[in-house]
Amino acid sequence: MATKSLAQPKRKKTVWDTIIAQRELIIMSVPLLLYKILFSYVPVIGWTMAFQNYKPAVRSIWKQEWVGLANFAKLFTGVNGERFIKDVRNTLGQSFLTLLVGYLGSISLALLLNEVKNIKFKRIVQNITYMPHFLSWIIVAGLVSTMLAVPTSGGIINDVLIRLGIIKESIMFLSYPEYFWWIVAFSHLWKEMGWNSIIYLAAMTSIDPTLYEAAIIDGANRYQKMWHITLPGIKPTIMVLLIMNIGQLLEAGFEIQYFLGNGLVVERSEIIDIFVLKYGIQMGNYSLATAAGIFKSVVSIILISVANFIAGRIGEEKLI
Amino acid sequence: MKKIVSLLLVMLLVLTATACQPAPKQGTQGTGIQTVSETGESKQTTGLPVLSPDDPTTFSVWITTNFSAPAADNKLTKLLKEKLGVTINYEIITPDTADQKIGVMLAGGEYPDLIGTTDLNYRFIMGGALIPLDDYLTEDKANYLFEHVRPYWNRLATDAGDGVKRIYILPNYNRYYGEITGGTHYGASGFWIQKHVLQELGYPSLDNMTLERYFQMIEEYMKKYPTIDGQPTIGFEILCAPGREWGLTNPPQYLAGAPNNGGVIVDENNVATIFADKDIAKRYYKFLNQMNARGLVDRESFTQTLDQYLAKLATGRVLGMYDQRWSFGNAHDSLVSQGRDERTWVSTMPVYEGKTPYYADRDVMNINQGFGVSVSCKYPDKAVAFLNTMLSEEWQKILSWGIEGEDYHVDANGRFYRTPEQREQQKDLVWRSKNKLEALMDQLPKHQGTFSDGNAFSPGDQPEEFFETLSDYDKNFLNAYGKKTWRDFLNQPPENPVYYPCWNIYLDEDAQTVSQQLTDLALQYLPKAILADPSEFDAIWDEYVSAIRKVNVKVYEDAINAGIQERIRNWGGGR
């Protein structure tokens, strides 16, 4: 066998050779590729609806009436436009705040847990903090709405604040627009903090222990070790997650705003998805909904490219 | 390795092959014209397939309702299976989430066999989801259904966009047969007040009610009883949950002596205008603002969902609210089942000075609610046959009264009645889910009014039964006011105008957008105005009015007026 292959003249490796050499891997990835094409790229044909006056009774999307950019004009001008632009602002604002609070929360939790030497205690804390991740958002929204209610309706937060003497009368948290973004951000923090910290904890385990030993010899204290070794050690993880999350900035969640939003806070609570639901899907105005969806996708692609570019510039891991 | 891969590939191939194979063709069913069924049975009188246990059928049924699906061991479910071979798969949607569910269904183009919904059926019709029923609605086919729609043909026929008016849906409520009886008017609006408040105040007269007097009664009672069952008493609750925003926006028209036309008031020349920005509205909300400053309005009103609102009512500590009787039915039933009749409500009808109350209208037939047969239904003739059978007096009695001997008895004069035990079990929600098909019945066409044997359609409408089912508390209460039924607390409704009511006029996309914008503005500004410090009210109101000015109200008003004119021209007359 060996002599036979040696005897053959060595020719240049072509693409086909690579393909044949990796045929098993390629065959295995084909179903996934088809899956992606079918569920992520084929639906893009539906974008044509944004340029039509789409009527579901006419089943084929090629027989609809074409209206050019009229739906985009409807989306960005007049009373609808004012509302939509406000909603874009709300979506971005809520996302940024959620991202910021979430990052600070889960990274500090991971840092602190990493320092805990009592394994039992560490496990318990970890379990308690990541449990809420498994609740569905609609349940969390219900919990939040009850917690923020007046004490007679089960509002724990008001109850505690009153008992501590911090406030005299209960505050109707859900009726002040200025609180709403924070409520969204902290609900996310409560739900996802423990779960998100797991990935940082995992990253921390891969830090070379000799670095810590060296730091101890240099006389570093705990906080200095955290700051100079642990944090830089997980920086690549932080950056990758950041880039991924920036692509999701226009996905500010849905359930919590839908469930907790009301007329009093609508100027701060309504996000793009709720607008789409209300003025698009509920009214059967699918074209307007699609136009808003396209806008969202385009902005997301721009955001993620920019974030990726910046990350590359400052010498960090690039995601794509 | 290679073996595994090829095995995987084969599996994949098999999977895709089965997935792509067209579904096996269903055997063609007997059409409506066929008079001899496949088994060679005798001639069918209705010209529709006969439903029988030998030929079992399963219908997927989509229902918008507040009732929940029947229990698995429901006795009428069994009866349907035994007698007709019909099995029903329920999909139940509460009205507040129906909007978006319908949007998704229309976009998908796949529907359950039967679609029963409230107020949004036009969207199904326009979206091409329902089949026209005209061919079935004849004397020799769906005879009961034909009789149901015959006198109202012009009202019910809708143009689905192809220029031909056809009937797509079968109205579920208020199509009356014979004499109208009944102690409760479920469509009734009112500023409701807890019975115990009136009892405490010595049953004051409710005639010539004003907003001032209504809130005065509430305030007096609240002073006397700051808590109910240890919980703070709530003076006035405002309903403004998604889908029921009218709880916030409708009252001004009643106060001005106009009936419920939704967002508009129609003048004597049949011209509709919105009233949201008019003085009659400002006066009402300003008054609520003052009442809020006095602690009479529940500040949580505006942040709660429909469920939370109903749950609050069901605690029995809410003294008053504006609502419609059907809308808070759950809370009412829950209080009754706890035996707390004194915490339920009666309606009062406050008006501005010089106006006559017009809270109650003649029961309006729900032309845009009820069942339709979807385009996805494989056996539309069977579906129609099912609906037709359900409308027969035999089945109507089973669905409404129950089974003779078990749920009601018949006396020597042929009158239906229930024993006290039978009445008691009707109040039990669990028993009802096992013995009644409330969700289905909610959307089915009904034989309201009286049956051919003179009995009322439902026990609540049978005069002697209505009075017998009243608790002692309610009997005393009615006696104290010298009234016989809850209907007597309302005004005597005059004949409805031809076009009435405007709230079920079909709106095109643009008008619908404006209507939604107006509702959104109301939700945004009115709660703020009501909760504000009284000195700030006028400023917020002016902001609200100028926001309304920016909306293209004319598009909405024009659409409503066009609808009114169309109805005046075409309505009336049947087949």
Within this chain, do residues B439 and B487 fall inside the same structural domain, yes or no? no
In chain A, the residue whose alpha carbon lies closest to the alpha carbon of B305 is: A259
Residue B11 lies in a domain: no
**Predicted pLDDT at B358:** 92
**Predicted pLDDT at A210:** 92
As a three-state string, the secondary structure of B448-509 is EEECCCCCECCHHHCHHHHHHHCCHHHHHHHHHCCCCCHHHHCCCCCCCCCCCCHHHCCCCH
Provide DSSP, B374-434. Answer: BTT-S-HHHHHHHHHHHTSHHHHHHHHT-SBTTTBEE-TTS-EE--HHHHHHHT-HHHHHH
Within this chain, do residues B292 and B378 fall inside the same structural domain, yes or no? no
CB B74 within 8 A of CB B434: yes
What's the domain range around B245? 189-359+480-570
**Range of weakest confidence among A25-34, A232-241, B289-298:** A232-241
**Range of weakest confidence among A58-62, A133-137, B110-114:** A58-62
Residue B87 lies in a domain: yes
Instruction: Say which residue the tokens 């926006």 belong to.
Output: B249
Give the ranges where B68-132 is alpha helix by DSSP (H).
75-84, 95-108, 121-126
The shortest C-alpha distance from A191 to chain B (Å) reads 22
Higher-confidence residue of B307 and B180: namely B307
CATH number at residue B140: 3.40.190.10
Within this chain, do residues B397 and B494 fall inside the same structural domain, yes or no? no
Residue B82 lies in a domain: yes
Within this chain, do residues B204 and B327 fall inside the same structural domain, yes or no? yes
CA A294 – CA A288 distance, rounded (Å):
10
Mean pLDDT, residues A118-141 taken together: 92
Domains annotated on chain A, with CATH: 15-68 (no CATH), 70-313 (1.10.3720.10)
**Predicted pLDDT at B281:** 96
Residue B303 lies in a domain: yes
**Predicted pLDDT at A64:** 84
Which segments within B133-266 are labelled E, that is strand? 158-159, 165-166, 176-177, 189-194, 227-228, 231-232, 234-237, 264-266
Residue B17 lies in a domain: no
Q: Do B531 and A267 touch (CB under 8 A)?
A: no
Residue B471 lies in a domain: no
Q: Do B527 and A79 touch (CB under 8 A)?
A: no
Q: Which residues contact B5 (CB under 8 A, 6 or more apart)?
A: A24, A27, A28
Q: Is the pLDDT of residue A187 over 90?
A: yes
The shortest C-alpha distance from A282 to chain B (Å) reads 5
- Report the number of distinct structural domains present in chain B: 2
Within this chain, do residues B158 and B107 fall inside the same structural domain, yes or no? yes
Closest CA to B408 of B459, B452, B448, B450: B459
Within this chain, do residues B202 and B288 fall inside the same structural domain, yes or no? yes
The shortest C-alpha distance from B102 to chain A (Å) reads 7
Please tell me whether the interface predicted TM-score (ipTM) of this complex is above 0.85.
no
pLDDT in tens, B485-506: 888 898 888 888 888 889 888 8
- Nearest CB among B161, B232, B516 relative to A283 is that of B516
**Predicted pLDDT at A10:** 63
pLDDT in tens, B271-282: 999 999 999 999
Q: How confident is the model at residue A29 (pLDDT cuts 50, 70, 90)?
A: very high
Name which of B104, B303, B312 to mutate to probe chain A: the one with the most chain A Cβ atoms within 10 A of its Cβ. B303
The answer to whether the pTM exceeds 0.95 is no
Within this chain, do residues B375 and B354 fall inside the same structural domain, yes or no? no
Within this chain, do residues B216 and B311 fall inside the same structural domain, yes or no? yes
Q: Is the pLDDT of residue B4 over 80?
A: no
> Between A and B, how many residue pairs show a Cβ–Cβ distance under 8 A?
106
pLDDT in tens, B336-394: 888 899 999 999 999 999 999 999 888 888 888 899 999 999 999 999 999 999 999 99
Name which of B2, B306, B510, B513 to mutate to probe chain A: the one with the most chain A Cβ atoms within 10 A of its Cβ. B513
Within this chain, do residues B161 and B232 fall inside the same structural domain, yes or no? no
Q: Is the pLDDT of residue A199 over 80?
A: yes
Within this chain, do residues B242 and B343 fall inside the same structural domain, yes or no? yes
Within this chain, do residues B212 and B281 fall inside the same structural domain, yes or no? yes
Q: Is the pLDDT of residue B60 over 90?
A: yes
In chain A, the residue whose alpha carbon lies closest to the alpha carbon of B98 is: A282
CA B313 – CA B333 distance, rounded (Å):
11
Average pLDDT, whole number, for chain A? 87
Q: Do A59 and B128 touch (CB under 8 A)?
A: yes
Residue B558 lies in a domain: yes
Of chain A, the percentage scoring pLDDT greater than 70 comes to 94
Mean pLDDT, residues B516-520 taken together: 92
Within this chain, do residues B332 and B291 fall inside the same structural domain, yes or no? yes
Residue B29 lies in a domain: no
Name which of B300, B543, B555 to mutate to probe chain A: the one with the most chain A Cβ atoms within 10 A of its Cβ. B300
Query: Which residues 484-523 of chain B have a CB within 8 Å of chain A?
Result: 509, 512-513, 516-517, 520, 522-523
